[in-house]
Structure 1
Amino acid sequence: MKLISSAERNQLFESFAQDAFHLELRDDYSVPDEDGPFADWLRGVVDNSYMEPWTRMTRRVTGEGKSVRRVRVVTEPHTLYVQWEYATTPINEAAGEDIRWLPRRMLPSGLAFPVAGNDWWLFDNRTLAVGHFDENGRVLGSELITAPEVVAECIRVRDLLWNAALPHHEYKP
């Protein structure tokens, strides 16, 4: 399996036409760029400047009429990392991203997650960037998948979870 870097995956945001959707299934992400800001937040220091490249890109693409959406499937009570994500979500939303939350207890019974239960980005209902992580939760890269049957299953799961999830302003952990 060939993996692309996060930077290469982010290039997909330069070429999608209508919709970028992210399904997050992990309760913790060990993203090196976030280590310092997360540690600062744990100490009560808030500096969200590390988010600026993401929010700048999100403002640009949503300003062009494209949508950037995500569903976060989370365990309750939340891990510290998810608490931090919740606290920073208004910054994502102010940039134009639409974020919804789905507690695991509300998952449809019998739901089987495609692509081995990994997180994924779905671009324009045709290209998947499936995240892969090491045993410590560090990002290894993304696998690009365009197989119609895999994409179709992810579209089905996306639509199911999007409709079941709560918009950020309604979700009160």
Structure 2
Amino acid sequence: MGFDDLVAEFRGHKRAFHLEVRDDYTGVPGEADALERFAAGRPLEPAFTAQWYTLVREVTASGTSVQRVRVVTEPHTDYVRFAVATTPGNLDAGEDIRWLPREVAPEELPDDDWWLLDEDLVAWTVFEQDGTALPGWVATTDSALTAHYAAVRDRLWDKAIRHHDYIK
């Protein structure tokens, strides 16, 4: 499943939830460059966020809820500081982002990030040991797995801290 496939799935669901469990995403294409620009005090390239913001605006305008929980280590890594600083753009586009300090997160966190669309589809981002993301996603509609991930989503969402409360 590629990005375009995931985009198509967003348009057919009412709730899109993303769990991020890594403190560094510089192994994902474009992330290392974005972090370098941020660290140097330069603005992000518009193309870095334009496609995502456009999708979030489109699907939230049609009634889809786009949610994200970022599990983070404290004190923050450079990448997490970058993510905190750039989150207002995601919020402005319509995404609801919450933060969960790793020290209070449940022990059963997976090693890889995932999307849950409604309770119908789970799509995992798979990472190599060095942090490099493999292209695309591995996905399933298996009802036992989607029910499991829906329960994990609900536990994490309830524990996570809204962005504006977290950055105080």
In the alignment, residue 74 of structure 1 is paired with which amino acid? V
Q: 1:33–1:58: structure 2 CA closer, same or farther, 3 Å change rule?
A: same
TM-score by length of 1: 0.89
- Gaps of at least 5 residues in structure 2 are none
Distance across 1 between alignment mates of 2:43 and 2:157: 30
Report the CA distance between 1:27 and its aligned residue.
0.6
Q: Is the 8 A contact 2:7 2:55 kept in 1?
A: no
Identity of aligned residues (%): 42
Q: Which runs of 5+ in 1 are unaligned?
A: none
2:119 paired with 1:122: no
> Does 1:23 pair with 2:32?
no
**Counterpart Cα distance in 1 of 2:70 and 2:45:** 20
Amino acid at match of 1:73: V
Alignment partners' CA distance in 1, 2:151 and 2:111:
14
The residue number in structure 2 matching 1:169 is 164
Hey, what's the Cα distance between the residues in 2 that align with 1:149 and 1:112? 17
2:166 is paired with a residue whose SS is coil
More deviation in 53-62 or 146-155?
146-155
Cα offset, 1:48, TM superposition: 4.9
Question: 2:164 is paired with a residue of what secondary structure?
Answer: coil
1:83 to 76, 81, 86: 81
Whole-Å separation in 1 of the counterparts to 2:150 and 2:29: 30
TM normalised by structure 2 equals: 0.91
